[in-house]
Amino acid sequence: MSFHDSKAKELAELYNGHSIAARLKLPFLVPVFPRPEAQWELYAHQLNRATMLVPDGDMKRVDLRLIVMIRDAQNMLAQNDIAVKDKVLMNGFSASGCFALRFAIMHPDMVRAVAAGGFSSAPTLPTDKVDGTDVRYPVGISDIKEEFGIDFNPDEYKKVSQYIFMGDKDDNDATLYRDSYEQEDADLIHGIIGRDMAARWQKSQTVYRQLGIPAQLVTYKGTGHEVPGYVWNDLYKFFEVNSGDGIVEIEHHE
């Protein structure tokens, strides 16, 4: 854990004064989750299926542990006369982009707005079925009640403003790696959403729009698996105007 603690501190200090949170003048929480080498299938930073199914021990239900971290931080701030809202803004890219999107689906009462990108053109879809096929977590949410005891709340979920983006040159395909997706889930994604990442992203966007999800879906031209300065600026603009009710879309960089 000392490794993860030091990396989180490094991340917080690196972005001090330059991060979205600093520009918004908001507290910045960097959660610390381990990634055990001996248990390679537990990819907590992505909130993958294996991690959500850990039955006991320190790695059990890291999503609930994040809620405790948030509430603890809010309590410490309140004790120092710093008022913050109950809901948070979440930002993530690549594995942590998956985490942010999945956490918002399972705990929408905790999240006001979320921004996520670089998720291999395979965002977890907030639906039980795609084209008549059951989609289990993390492809969809058909089994989150049975497996995790979570009742999906579509009304609360649609209160979460979302900025979901991919670069059109991003070829980082996590569906090819078993620490991110079990073979069954990779096959499901390839079969009903798409094997090619560009086609997969188009299909995912179609599903979000059909479901009426309040999300601004953005494709950045000429951008790979990265978060350039112009993307950071767009994320800042999105969070700046989405602290109230309802989604407010921004004019984003091409």
Q: What is the 3-state secondary structure (H, E, C) of the chain?
A: CHHHHHHHHHHHHHHCCCCHHHHHCCCCCCCCCCCCCCCCCCCHHHCCHHHHCCCCCCCCCHHHHHHHHHHHHHHHHHHCCCCCCCCEEEEEECHHHHHHHHHHHHCHHHEEEEEEECCCCCCCCCCCEECCEECCCCCCCCCHHHHHCCCCCHHHHCCCEEEEEEECCCCCCHHHCCCCCCHHHHHHHHHHHCCCHHHHHHHHHHHHHHCCCCEEEEEECCCCCCCCHHHHHHHHHHHHHCCCCCCCCCCCCC
Asked if residue 55 has a cis previous peptide bond (ω within 30° of 0), the answer is: no
Q: Is the dihedral of CA 84, 87, 89, 93 positive or negative?
A: positive
pTM to 2 decimal places: 0.95
What pLDDT does 15 receive?
A: 66
What pLDDT does 215 receive?
A: 96
Mean pLDDT by 10 residues, the chain (254 residues): 89 74 90 90 95 94 97 96 94 96 98 97 96 96 97 96 97 95 97 96 96 96 95 96 92 92
Which pairing describes strands 111-117 and 161-167: parallel, antiparallel, or unpaired? parallel
Domains assigned to the chain: 2-241 (3.40.50.1820)
Q: What 3-state class would DSSP assign to 47?
A: coil
Q: What does the alpha-carbon distance between residue 79 and residue 53 come to, in Å, rounded to a whole number?
A: 35
Q: To the nearest 10°, the Cα dihedral for 98, 101, 105, 108? A: 140
For 155, residues 6+ apart whose C-beta sits below 8 A from its C-beta are none
Q: Are 232 and 20 in contact (CB under 8 A)?
A: yes
What pLDDT does 120 receive?
A: 95
What pLDDT does 254 receive?
A: 82
